[in-house]
Amino acid sequence: MSTALITYFGAFEGVAENPTQQVAEYARAHLEQTRPHLNLVLAELPVAFDTSANELRQLIKAHKPDAVIATGVAVGRDKISLERIAINCDDARIADNAGDQRQDTPIIGGAPAAYFSTLPYRAIFSELGNTYPLEISNTAGTYVCNHVFFHLMHTLADTGIPAGFIHIPAIGNSLIPQTLTAHQDTGGVEGKTVPMLPLETVGGVLSRAVELTLDPIAS
């Protein structure tokens, strides 16, 4: 039996309700039907630099997943973003939920400047990109999303375990656009409008991303 770990975040400044939990739960419901033998673990990470990384490492140690997909919301984006690269830098105009505001701070001293996702993002994009609003993104921001992404790849470096990060836009029917704030540092796109996608669209893409990541392992 394969084990997959999906992480998501709670609320933070400008996002009173984080849609990543809804999307993760939608994916779980879908995968219970399509992959009944999959052990899918969902976990919320705190929107805080230090504790998010610590909890991520504990989850990996406890569950020994065969694949890990971390998710976050990027308000203002109009596509689901398969993040390609995590950079070794914390830098944000807003503090995390613990009050920690960082500028030009290495995430891990002495670690590489960047890590690439090991998810099959090109295969995911090739299959779904013509049907769903999907993109391969080259920036996960410099806030807690990128921080978790970097720690994830550092922790699993040389293990052969596929892992990476997916940013989602705001979700329709779950959030009021006027209550949302886009922050460039969090991977968002600042502007006057907040694009929104249906939960079914985003959840469906996440579900299929899990399946395509695990298929080579199963075979």
Active-site residue identified among 145, 147, 151, 183 = 145
The three-state secondary structure class of 135 is strand
Which segment of 45-59, 109-123, 151-165, 186-200 scores lowest on mean pLDDT? Answer: 186-200
Q: What is the pLDDT of residues 74-97, one digit of tens each?
A: 988 999 999 999 999 999 999 999
- Residue 219 confidence (pLDDT): 40
Average pLDDT over the chain, rounded to an integer: 91
DSSP state of 199: H
Helix (H) or strand (E) segment spanning residue 175: none
Question: Is the pLDDT at 193 greater than 80, yes or no?
Answer: no
Q: How many domains does the chain have?
A: 1
The three-state secondary structure class of 4 is strand
Check if the beta carbon of residue 190 is closer than 8 Å to that of residue 183. yes
- Residue 15 confidence (pLDDT): 81
Q: Where are the beta strands (DSSP E) in 26-150?
A: 39-45, 67-73, 80-83, 85-87, 114-116, 134-137
Q: Which residues contact 18 (CB under 8 A, 6 or more apart)?
A: 8, 9, 10, 11, 12, 73
- Residue 16 confidence (pLDDT): 82
Active-site residue identified among 30, 83, 147, 211 = 83
Q: What residue numbers bound the domain in which 109 lies?
A: 3-218
Question: Is the pLDDT at 218 greater than 70, yes or no?
Answer: no
At 175, the amino acid letter reads L
| b/e per residue 162-182 (b: at least 16 CB within 10 A) | bbbbbbbbbbbeebeeeebbb
Active-site residue identified among 30, 147, 151, 167 = 167
Question: Is the pLDDT at 40 greater than 90, yes or no?
Answer: yes
Q: pLDDT exceeding 90 applies to what percent of the chain?
A: 81
Catalytic residue status for 83? yes
CATH label of the domain that carries residue 205: 3.40.630.20
What is the model's pTM? Answer: 0.93
Q: Which residues contact 5 (CB under 8 A, 6 or more apart)?
A: 41, 43, 59, 60, 63, 65, 67, 68, 69
Check if the beta carbon of residue 121 is closer than 8 Å to that of residue 82. yes
Phi/psi region, residue 47 (left: phi>0; alpha: psi -120 to 50; beta: rest), is beta
Catalytic residue status for 167? yes
N residues, the chain: 219
Catalytic residue status for 145? yes
Check if the beta carbon of residue 187 is closer than 8 Å to that of residue 146. yes
Q: What is the pLDDT of residues 149-161, one digit of tens each?
A: 999 999 999 999 9
